[in-house]
Amino acid sequence: MYNGNLVTALSIKSSLPGTSLAEKEQYKVTMQQIVDKNLEIAEAAYGAESIHLLY
Amino acid sequence: MHFVDFGNAEAQLRNILEEELNYYGLKKADSAPFKPATKEDTFTPIDLEEINIGGLDNLEQTDEFLYSRNSHPIKKVLETVLMLAEVFAFRLKSQEALKLFDFVEVGYSKLFGSYNTIPGSYVLQQKAECLLKMVTERDNTPVAKAVEQAEKSIKVIEELAGKKDGGAEVNNCLLALRIQTLADA
């Protein structure tokens, strides 16, 4: 996935000891936005039942 | 590209690179052959100084490849170097991998006349992945660099796809996604 590495990187960043709660919350929102966007793209192109084609 | 035996893949790719450079005349004179890696050998870095990509500097003046840059011989060489970089990244030879990724990134930008291309975006993704592999408990600084590279890559893809929230460009974006996925495969 073209934005998969960003999700992984933000996930790692969230788990680092020095990351503040506010930053963690921000990363969580960003990751959720990415996932939502990917689902939206997949649904628009293949239909809700064919999302697995992308993953 | 998936290799079953990465040690063997590295040796094969070194040989392929050697043959491509000789065949296309892209190797600088008096340079020694790339030494194939064996289990007994210590790691031999790829000497990028031996690869002559000077022809890309005056690409605008040569009609032959001006409108068909994908068929330029250096494209094949860059793809081989890119695969080698991926093998190095997998084998955690991260610094060497990043060196090769940078070389390919610059090569693609010269070849296509811009950093904002799908191959360029792919290299950025691979750099991000490589940086993520470098993260350890003692040193997590590569994460920030990985985020930077991944965001740049996404920006390139979405610019190329003409992204607008909720717009009709979604199929173009999906096409870019599929190309990226195919490239990963």
Q: Encode pLDDT of B78-101 as tens digits.
A: 999 999 999 999 999 999 999 999
Name the residue facing A1 among B146, B170, B177 (closest C-beta).
B177
Q: Per the domain annotation, does B1 fall within a domain?
A: no
> Largest Cα–Cα distance in chain B?
57
Of A6, A9, A41, the CB nearest to B174: A41
CA nearest to A2 within chain B: B177
Closest-CA residue to B86 (of B9, B182, B18): B9
- Distance between CA B18 and CA B7 in Å, rounded? 17
Cβ-contact B60, B4 below 8 angstroms: no
Q: Round to whole Å and give the CA distance between B25 and B65.
A: 16
Q: How far apart are CA A19 and CA B52, in angstroms?
A: 45
**Cα(B51)–Cα(B73) distance, rounded to whole angstroms?**
12
Going by C-alpha positions, the residue among B12, B17, B91 that lies closest to residue B52 is B17
B164 domain-assigned = yes
Q: What is the pTM of this model?
A: 0.78
User: Cβ of A5 and B146 within 8 Å?
Assistant: yes
Residues of B in contact with A10 (CB under 8 A): 147
Domain for residue B76, yes or no? yes
B151 chain-A contacts, CB cut-off 8 A? 6
Q: What range does the domain containing B107 cover?
A: 6-184
Task: Kindly report the nearest CA distance between residue A15 and chain B, in angstroms.
Answer: 11
- pLDDT tens sequence across B152-173: 998 888 888 765 555 444 455 5
Rounded to 10 degrees, the C-alpha dihedral B72/B75/B77/B80 comes to -150
Number of domains in chain B: 1
Contacts of B180 in chain A (CB under 8 A): 1-2
Cross-chain Cβ contact B146/A54 below 8 Å: no
Contact with chain B for residue A41, Cβ under 8 A = yes
Q: Does A53 touch chain B (CB under 8 A)?
A: no
- Under 8 Å between Cβ of B73 and B99: no
Residue with the bigger pLDDT between B12 and A43: it is B12
Q: Is A42 on the interface with B (CB under 8 A)?
A: yes
Report residue A52's pLDDT band, with 50, 70 and 90 as the boundaries. Answer: low
